[in-house]
Structure 1
Amino acid sequence: MNEKQLSAMRHSLAHIMAAALTRLYPDTQLGTGPATENGFYYDFDLPTTLGEDDFAAIENEMKKIIFEDQPFERLEMSTEEAKEWAKKAKQPYKLELLDSLNQTGAIGAKGLDVAAMASPNDGHATDRVSFYKNGEFVDLCRGPHVESTGKVGAFKVMRVSGAYWRGQDTNPQMQRLYGVAFATQEELDKYLAMLEEAKRRDHRKLGQELDLFVLSDMVGAGLPMFTPRGTVLREELAAYSNELRQRRGFEKVWIPHMTKKELYETSGHWAKFGNELFLVKSQETSDQFVLKPMNCPHHTRIYAARQRSYRDLPVRYLETTTVYRDEKTGELNGLSRVRSVTQDDSHVFCRNDQIETEINNLLEAARELYGTVGMDLRVRLSYRDNSDAYLGDKKLWESAQEQLKSAVAANKLDYIEEEGEAAFYGPKIDFMATDAIGREHQVATVQLDFVMPERFGLEYTSEDGSKPRPVMIHCALLGSIERFLSVYIEHTAGHFPVWLAPEQLRLIQVKEDARLSEFVKEIKLKADEQGVRTVVDNTDATVGKKIRQAELMKIPYVVVVGEKELSNGILTPRVRQDLAVENRKGSALSIEHLVKSIANEARGRASKSSL
């Protein structure tokens, strides 16, 4: 079954669920019900509050409708007839959709998936709308659907949550009922098993168990704080990203965390994202300041601070810094959606003929980074379509898009192309990484920008003396470090490679003894000299409990130190199972050999033990 057929099947299940709810609760008022990536949902205004205890009854009613194998019939009405239907059926939300449709020709309010509902003639007022009927149930909808209710594969009702009507928090709150659906029961079972594994890997759970980050109501929602252990992860990842970019000619810059609002008025961000900005009031002047939500406007000011020649280009800046966005509290989630976002940001100012080389530079860096962290990478090329929704010369767009594609192909990256998905200011590359349990995540983007250089009047002197605009390229290899960590913690289930492990070596002292304590101190000193992150466990717990605790904390190397080790100076490390090379047991090593081997693994960013 292809994606189009799957989408039709899942959308049909949304209708079946709505039909089941109206059977169970005749006063149900219907919102919208689109297909999603792995299933479907429908928004309802119900006379009762749904909970997990209700799911079995809903599923049973859906199965009855499926067993009846009701045909999906497409009907058409005039908008006036449709409004009469909505009034008679006591469906005020459908009536509102029809009013919107009559005014604009497209039901496209914020937060609403228009594929869920009615309307031919997008963008133009229309006097005809489509409905779909199965059994006694009729719903305003533009389809498509499967042939009948009996052809919908395997499904499961999963959860219910609150959702504002049409995504606006000033509108009534409805109940959003979610389901998952696949062509076969085997595929559904596999997906449900993956969800169970995802729960085990939840970064919020592991973040607490492994002592990585803290959230505090006193500090504020969406403002995570990182412990010493979690800070190691952040700094090692940031250092690696910096290294990859500096190797390719990027130079570090630094900008403040706030700015006058005029900067974002010029860039256009104030008009587009003004309600997402944190405002800062000066007690000294009348200036309105904001906490920076992005870094690119500041970086244009550094570029513009002196005259540039065609010989100076490309100019490449890098900065790993935190920006701030006033996200809605209901959307905040662990590290995956936060208000303080740390970006490994890069900006290139280059000539048109340099685009492909610069994109190639960034793609090479991305391929190296994601290869090191063990995540398969593909890219999505987002192009403009033939509409007038994009700014900049069309020929420049076409040239830039060809250069993007050429660079991606040269890097032998798997890619897809999508027209109409570009940003209004330029085409882009979205990096898609697949984690250990098969989920795909967008982790970063490379974006070409023809607009900001124009807004800020950026220029360089060409060989013929003219003053053309440079092209600006935005890129972040990790994207947001916080969001990347939410993905990576779950990808590894907390089993970090040695170079990223907050604690690389744990020494377990078997008993309290002065000579043994001195020997353990000697080992730690030599490890410290090699830069190996080492912790000594000399607590009163039994050796077995100490080993178990080290395993729970997923420490790469654990060495039990007792009289035997003291007498011969030889250590036999326990190697974490995922690091151990197959059929190789822990070797007996001198202190120097052990700590140097661990240090070399860390420096080489190895994924397997060299012991």
Structure 2
Amino acid sequence: MRDFLNDVELNTLNHSCAHVMAQAVKHLYPQAKFWVGPVVEEGFYYDIDLGDQTITDDDLPKIEKEMKKICKDGKRIVRHEVSREEALKEFADDEYKVDLISNMPEGTVISTYSQGDFTDLCRGPHVDTVKKCKNFKLLKHSGAYWKGDKNNKVLQRIYGVCFPTKEELDEHLALLEEAKERDHRKLGKELGIFMFADLVGRGLPMWLPNGFTVRRILSDYIMDKELDLGYEHVMTPSVANVALYKTSGHWDHYKDDMFPAMEMDDEAYVLRPMNCPEHMMIYKSQLHSYRDLPIRMAEIANDFRFEASGALTGIERARAFTQNDSHIFLRPDQIAQEFKEVSKLILDVYKDFGFTDYEFRLSLRDPEDTEKYFGNDELWEKSENELRAVLNDMGVKYYEAKGEAAFYGPKLDVQVKSALGHDVTLSTIQLDYQLPERFELTYVDENGEKVRPVVIHRAILGSLDRFIAFLLEETKGVLPLWLAPKQVVVLPVKNEYHEEYAQEVVKKLRKAHFRVQLDNRDEKLGYRIREAQMHKIPYELVLGNNERDEGTVTYRQYGHQEQTTVPFDEFVALLNDEVEKKALQK
């Protein structure tokens, strides 16, 4: 997919098309006044004041029709440079343009662009003629506060996209349609995974029975793997004293992303944004010998961050989320081996989920912008060099990214390519000398001296919420059998003849620890089968006379047309084999 922000040709074209849209809007709504029309990741938008009028879905085709006329007319786009006084006079009746001009620094070159009967304030550049903007599509509309301030008036924002050729536009629109079908917010609603309610709070997801089941299975899955590798699980509170985060450094470097502090009993408490300070305190509560290390502490932890309203994206980016978090306390000589073990765990998990398109990113501090990081240069250089050396020793292919480090240390991020081509960070491993220093953590070395441990922060599934969002979009909601909230739906052909046997099958499947649903509604069989398909349940069992009389089941797997009749025990063996192998959906 082409990059609208950094592709000069695409950026210029979309900026020009925004002006074509504004011209069309002005033709249809003479009262329209315009704020800004930038190029964004998905194309372009323009913020417009239409007075008392509100744009609806029915208006977009009308605007598109007018835009086509403008493009066909083929007027040239001409640039003019004007003085501040000339600009203020030209746009005197538009308070939005007057505001823009008035806030420009002295000496700014002010330019306008004209195309036929439309002139707009703009620094450009633009294409030379509106003819080049003909391959466009208006995508959606919404409201937007002027200057992003909720105390200001709501303007009408119209989004669009433009490409040099019709083929590129069609390809892009097909991708957008595919993205709609894969959108985890749509799938989450259709499959009963999660919900939001403004009365509960924006960005605060509520997990419905199906969603909670998926979360529970994922939690058990990763905790079992951790237990096999010597991790110990803890549980810490979701709220803590502000003093804890001042000690860790989060308060100074992260408080703008935290919920406001709550004052009570002469103390200030805050919802935690992460769990490392609490884990530091658990480690510090006991004396440790060099023989005790590494200590692998893990938690499935609820965290809270006050994300900006505009950044909230379903469960992919929410204000309440759950992390598969761990902190490993170790000696410096154990860094390489432990780093390798964590990397192996990540690759093992990715194999189970069928992830193959990923790469490693070494995220480093930006040496030219050190204000947002804490600690000293020596420790940063030491930890960055050690991570680099470990990766080189492992023979792992990676690339470096300055400015992407955590504020307390460098990290290795695993960047997974989604089905829609997005780069998503799922797992991370971070090396940290800073927090052990700030919390004065120690262990007794072989010489009887108290020395500092090193900490590895690691998240394999990362945020469970984001991981589930990623899975839903990767699979279009068709989860593998071992993870599906409902694994089997049982459908008696006619209740009066077959429900008793259906109930018996359901009881046996539940006893065998499968998640099963009986659909004995007074609806036609075909309707109930379609419903099961819509809910993407892996297996449907249709039970009629033959099945009842012979003790068999007839099953159909999701996405397949063929039906297979087998003895009940054989069907259970099939399910057990698929679950044990964590087989991917075929």
TM-score normalised to structure 2 length: 0.82
CA distance in 2 between counterparts of 1:145 and 1:249 reads: 61
Asked if structure 2 preserves the Cα contact closer than 8 Å seen for 1:254 and 1:319, the reply is yes
1:7 maps to 7
CA 1:58/1:87 → structure 2, altered by over 3 Å: closer, same or farther? Answer: farther
| 1:305-320 correspondence to structure 2 within 5 Å | 305-320=285-300
CA 1:336/1:608 → structure 2, altered by over 3 Å: closer, same or farther? Answer: closer
The one-letter amino acid of 2:8's match is A
List alignment gaps of at least 5 residues for structure 1.
100-126
CA 1:22/1:211 → structure 2, altered by over 3 Å: closer, same or farther? Answer: closer
- State yes or no: 1:434 paired with 2:440: no
- State yes or no: 1:16 paired with 2:12: no
- State yes or no: 1:247 paired with 2:200: no
CA 1:62/1:467 → structure 2, altered by over 3 Å: closer, same or farther? Answer: farther
Asked if structure 2 preserves the Cα contact closer than 8 Å seen for 1:370 and 1:377, the reply is no
Q: Pick from 15, 36, 50 the counterpart of residue 40 of structure 2.
A: 36
CA 1:568/1:22 → structure 2, altered by over 3 Å: closer, same or farther? Answer: closer
| 1:413-452 correspondence to structure 2 within 5 Å | 415-452=398-435
1:190-229 deviations in whole A, cap 9, x for unaligned? 2211222332333333333323234345544433322322
CA 1:554/1:406 → structure 2, altered by over 3 Å: closer, same or farther? Answer: farther
1:606 maps to 583
CA distance in 1 between counterparts of 2:129 and 2:288 reads: 65
| 1:100-499 correspondence to structure 2 within 5 Å | 129=108, 134-135=113-114, 141=123, 154-164=135-145, 167-169=148-150, 173-271=154-252, 272-273=254-255, 276-277=258-259, 279-280=261-262, 282=264, 285-328=265-308, 331-375=311-355, 376-389=357-370, 390-405=373-388, 415-462=398-445, 468-499=451-482
Asked if structure 1 preserves the Cα contact closer than 8 Å seen for 2:502 and 2:543, the reply is yes
CA distance in 1 between counterparts of 2:506 and 2:482 reads: 18
2:531 maps to 549
CA distance in 1 between counterparts of 2:219 and 2:501 reads: 35
Instruction: State the Cα distance separating 1:504 from its structure 2 match.
Output: 1.2
CA 1:461/1:333 → structure 2, altered by over 3 Å: closer, same or farther? Answer: same
SS in structure 2 at match of 1:368: helix
CA distance in 2 between counterparts of 1:553 and 1:59 reads: 39
Instruction: State the Cα distance separating 1:316 from its structure 2 match.
Output: 2.0
CA 1:3/1:535 → structure 2, altered by over 3 Å: closer, same or farther? Answer: closer
1:528 maps to 510
SS in structure 1 at match of 2:429: strand
1:402-452 deviations in whole A, cap 9, x for unaligned? 554566677787754322333332223343333334444343443444443
The one-letter amino acid of 2:384's match is Q
CA distance in 1 between counterparts of 2:339 and 2:65 reads: 50
Instruction: State the Cα distance separating 1:264 from its structure 2 match.
Output: 2.1
The one-letter amino acid of 1:187's match is E
The one-letter amino acid of 1:535's match is Q
CA distance in 2 between counterparts of 1:152 and 1:472 reads: 55
Asked if structure 1 preserves the Cα contact closer than 8 Å seen for 2:18 and 2:44, the reply is no
CA distance in 1 between counterparts of 2:14 and 2:220 reads: 47
Question: What is the aligned-residue RMSD (CA, Å)?
Answer: 3.9
Asked if structure 2 preserves the Cα contact closer than 8 Å seen for 1:18 and 1:30, the reply is no
Instruction: State the Cα distance separating 1:70 from its structure 2 match.
Output: 4.0
List alignment gaps of at least 5 residues for structure 2.
none
CA distance in 2 between counterparts of 1:310 and 1:176 reads: 61
The one-letter amino acid of 2:100's match is K
SS in structure 2 at match of 1:573: strand
The one-letter amino acid of 1:604's match is K
Asked if structure 2 preserves the Cα contact closer than 8 Å seen for 1:363 and 1:408, the reply is no
CA distance in 2 between counterparts of 1:399 and 1:146 reads: 50
Asked if structure 2 preserves the Cα contact closer than 8 Å seen for 1:8 and 1:145, the reply is no
Asked if structure 2 preserves the Cα contact closer than 8 Å seen for 1:443 and 1:478, the reply is yes
Q: Pick from 90, 93, 104 the counterpart of residue 98 of structure 1.
A: 104
The one-letter amino acid of 2:279's match is H
Asked if structure 1 preserves the Cα contact closer than 8 Å seen for 2:383 and 2:432, the reply is no
1:596 maps to 573
The one-letter amino acid of 2:418's match is D
SS in structure 1 at match of 2:322: strand
SS in structure 2 at match of 1:255: coil
1:120 maps to none
2:63 maps to 57
Instruction: State the Cα distance separating 1:341 from its structure 2 match.
Output: 0.9
Instruction: State the Cα distance separating 1:291 from its structure 2 match.
Output: 2.6
Asked if structure 2 preserves the Cα contact closer than 8 Å seen for 1:341 and 1:480, the reply is yes
SS in structure 2 at match of 1:348: strand
CA 1:163/1:512 → structure 2, altered by over 3 Å: closer, same or farther? Answer: closer
CA distance in 2 between counterparts of 1:564 and 1:424 reads: 66
Percent identity, aligned pairs only? 37
CA 1:354/1:69 → structure 2, altered by over 3 Å: closer, same or farther? Answer: farther
2:559 maps to 577
1:460-479 deviations in whole A, cap 9, x for unaligned? 44556665544433332233
CA 1:463/1:162 → structure 2, altered by over 3 Å: closer, same or farther? Answer: farther
The one-letter amino acid of 2:549's match is S
The one-letter amino acid of 1:425's match is Y
Asked if structure 1 preserves the Cα contact closer than 8 Å seen for 2:478 and 2:585, the reply is no
CA distance in 2 between counterparts of 1:513 and 1:606 reads: 37
Asked if structure 1 preserves the Cα contact closer than 8 Å seen for 2:14 and 2:163, the reply is no
1:539 maps to 521
Instruction: State the Cα distance separating 1:171 from its structure 2 match.
Output: 5.6
CA distance in 2 between counterparts of 1:564 and 1:216 reads: 47
Asked if structure 1 preserves the Cα contact closer than 8 Å seen for 2:35 and 2:48, the reply is yes
CA 1:424/1:279 → structure 2, altered by over 3 Å: closer, same or farther? Answer: closer
CA distance in 2 between counterparts of 1:62 and 1:130 reads: 32
Asked if structure 2 preserves the Cα contact closer than 8 Å seen for 1:252 and 1:317, the reply is yes
The one-letter amino acid of 2:510's match is D
CA distance in 2 between counterparts of 1:409 and 1:160 reads: 49
CA distance in 1 between counterparts of 2:128 and 2:79 reads: 6
Asked if structure 2 preserves the Cα contact closer than 8 Å seen for 1:131 and 1:138, the reply is no
The one-letter amino acid of 2:567's match is S
CA distance in 1 between counterparts of 2:452 and 2:89 reads: 57
CA distance in 1 between counterparts of 2:366 and 2:283 reads: 31
SS in structure 2 at match of 1:318: strand
1:5-24 deviations in whole A, cap 9, x for unaligned? 95323432453245446645
Instruction: State the Cα distance separating 1:150 from its structure 2 match.
Output: 6.8
TM-score normalised to structure 1 length: 0.79
Instruction: State the Cα distance separating 1:87 from its structure 2 match.
Output: 7.7
1:102 maps to none
CA 1:603/1:84 → structure 2, altered by over 3 Å: closer, same or farther? Answer: farther
CA 1:96/1:430 → structure 2, altered by over 3 Å: closer, same or farther? Answer: farther
1:507 maps to 490
CA distance in 2 between counterparts of 1:148 and 1:294 reads: 52
